[in-house]
Amino acid sequence: MVVVMSPDATEEQIARVTARVEETGGQAFVSRGVVRTIIGLVGDIDSFHGLNLRSMPGVQEVYRISDPYKLVSRQHHPERSTVHVGPAGAEVAIGPGTFTLLAGPCAVESAQQTLQAAEMAKAAGAKLLRGGAFKPRTSPYAFQGLGLKGLEILADVGTATGLPIVTEVVDARDLDAVAEHAHMLQVGSRNMGNFGLLQAVGDAGLPVLLERGVNATVEEWLMAAEYVAQRGNLDVVLCERGIRTFEPSTSTTLDISAVPVVQATSHLPVIVDPSHAGGRRDLVVPLSRAAIAVGADGIVVDVHPDPEQALCDGPQALHGQELRELATACRKLPPVVGRRV
């Protein structure tokens, strides 16, 4: 941590900062410049946070030097991690070296629609079935998902197709029910800052798919993962699904750079959701190709047997020719960038 004093800081103010640091067992190195003084802190960073140095008289700025996350950081775990999802003996790996396709219907609408979507997903090469039973919607008047009934459908379809289930949990009170039917718990972008849910999910003992909030920096996203990890659960897969910007031609702006940025600083696997990032069917295949090429550990894609009739996000669901193109890309591109499918 570095404390920058303002140009008119007094000697007394400087002394007060160094005294405060030393009280907590840290060391303070003072560099006196022509215009101002800089104080470098050495010691236990966590204890410095409580000091509230930024509020002390004469302090202009405090720069944090090291990353605020620990358990999810590569500094603490240099090798990139692989997360395994699914029943023992039939786990699906998400991590370096492999490329994993997750697919399914945005919302579970009926047993038949879910089964058809799952079969489409499987035929396209998907190894995990992602579908929504609880849907967080901007409007209270929009379809909110089938809830428990949807979980049962997912579980049945998963058994029928042999695909492990990934589904979203939107409320800590639903957690037991969701955990009973799912192999991986999704925390959606709207809940990335719902710390109680993150902690509850961390306690649940299942792998977690943690979407980035549309307004979250990479650092905040990793801090959310730290909330899960702190409960003893390091099986977290991060999912980039677009951030909010001024550009209106896509529903959000896919931050493709976030994939290598995360991989440089965290050991957790990171995948991309090209369906929700763009919100446009015609962009799903090109964005999927970009995600594979940039080095994502997987992608998650919406499919629907009849997008015109979809109750949720129909405009972005793949089927027919586009799904075949996606399958081709998922087969041909990963080997070119050094990954097994």
Interface pick for a copy of itself out of 159, 232, 257, 340 (rule CB under 8 A): 257
**Interface positions, 203-222, toward a copy of itself (CB under 8 A):** 213-215, 217-220
Region near a copy of itself per CB under 8 A, out of 56-64, 87-95, 109-117, 145-153: 56-64
Interface pick for a copy of itself out of 82, 314, 322, 324 (rule CB under 8 A): 314
Question: Rounded to an integer, what distance in angstroms lies between the CA atom of residue 218 and that of residue 184?
Answer: 22
Q: Taking the complex as a whole, how short is the minimal distance between the CB of residue 156 and a copy of itself, in angstroms?
A: 25
293 sits near a copy of itself (criterion: CB under 8 A) = yes
Question: Rounded to an integer, what distance in angstroms lies between the CA atom of residue 80 and that of residue 265?
Answer: 10
Question: Rounded to an integer, what distance in angstroms lies between the CA atom of residue 149 and that of residue 266?
Answer: 37
Burial 41-73 (b: 16+ CB within 10 A, else e): beeebeebeebebeebebbeebeeeebebebbb
Q: Taking the complex as a whole, how short is the minimal distance between the CB of residue 20 and a copy of itself, in angstroms?
A: 9
96 sits near a copy of itself (criterion: CB under 8 A) = no
Quickly list DSSP for 33-75: -SS-EEEEEES-HHHHHTT-GGGSTTEEEEE--S-S--TTBTT
Q: What are phi and psi of 220, to 5 degrees?
A: -65, -35
159 sits near a copy of itself (criterion: CB under 8 A) = no
Give the DSSP letter of residue 136: -
Region near a copy of itself per CB under 8 A, out of 60-68, 104-112, 176-184, 232-240: 60-68
**Interface positions, 219-238, toward a copy of itself (CB under 8 A):** 219-220, 223, 226-227, 230
**Interface positions, 183-202, toward a copy of itself (CB under 8 A):** 190-191, 193-196
106 sits near a copy of itself (criterion: CB under 8 A) = no
